[in-house]
Amino acid sequence: MPSVTYIEADGKEHKVDVAPGLSLMEGAVNNLVPGIDADCGGACACATCHIYIEPDWHGKTGTRNEMEQSMLDFAEGIKDNSRLACQIKVTDELDGIVVRLPVAQF
């Protein structure tokens, strides 16, 4: 199973296995990784699953879709590598991916 590393804002790392087909949001929530609220349950409608993709992986995760862009527009601390975790599906190609969590979801 692909491995995913979530790094909390204070540097704490969580390395977990996530089945292909699940989203990075589900990977965090199912493994009790703190820092992702996912209030809308993955509908791209709340922006409380905001993450930063580490530079090495940025190119492999695709680009923001239109709704995702709109939702990110109102979130806090948005950077070029900001994404909504519910919009990225885990695949074998993403095995080893590293993502960072913001200080707080907003």
Partner 1 sequence: MSVAHDQNTSLPSAYDLPLEDIDVSIAQLFQTQQHFEYFERLRKEDPVHYCKDSEFGAYWSVTKFNDIVEVDSNHKIYSSDKTIVIGDADPDFNPPMFIAMDQPKHDVQRKAVTPAVAPVNLAKLESHIRENVCEILDGLPVGETFDWVDRVSIELTTRMLAILFDFPWEDRRKLTWWSDVTTSNPAQVGADASIVNEEERKKELMECLEYFMNLWTSRGENYEGTDFVSLLATNPDTMEMSNDPLEFLGNLMLLIVGGNDTTRNSISGGVLALNQNPAEYNKLRANPDLIPNMVSEIIRWVTPLGHMRRTALEDTELGGKKIKKGDRVVMWYISGNRDDEIIDRANEFLIDRDKARHHLSFGFGIHRCMGNRVGEMQLRILWEEIMKRFEKVEVIGEPERLCSNFVMGITEMMVKLHPLKA
User: What contacts 15, CB < 8 A, 6 or more positions away?
Assistant: 3, 4, 5
What's the chain's length in residues? 106
**Does 49 sit near ligand FES (CB under 6 A)?**
yes
Q: By CB under 6 A, which span of 14-22, 41-49, 56-64, 98-106 interacts with ligand FES?
A: 41-49
User: Of partner 1, ligand FES, none, which one does residue 9 interact with (CB within 5 to 8 Å by kind)?
Assistant: none
Tokens linked to 18:
């996530």
CB of 20 or CB of 41, closer to partner 1? 41
Strand ranges inside the chain, DSSP E: 3-7, 13-17, 50-53, 82-84, 97-100
In the complex, what is the shortest distance from the CB of residue 40 to ligand FES, in angstroms, rounded to a whole number?
A: 3
Binding residues for ligand FES, per CB under 6 A? 25, 38-40, 42-49, 71, 84, 86
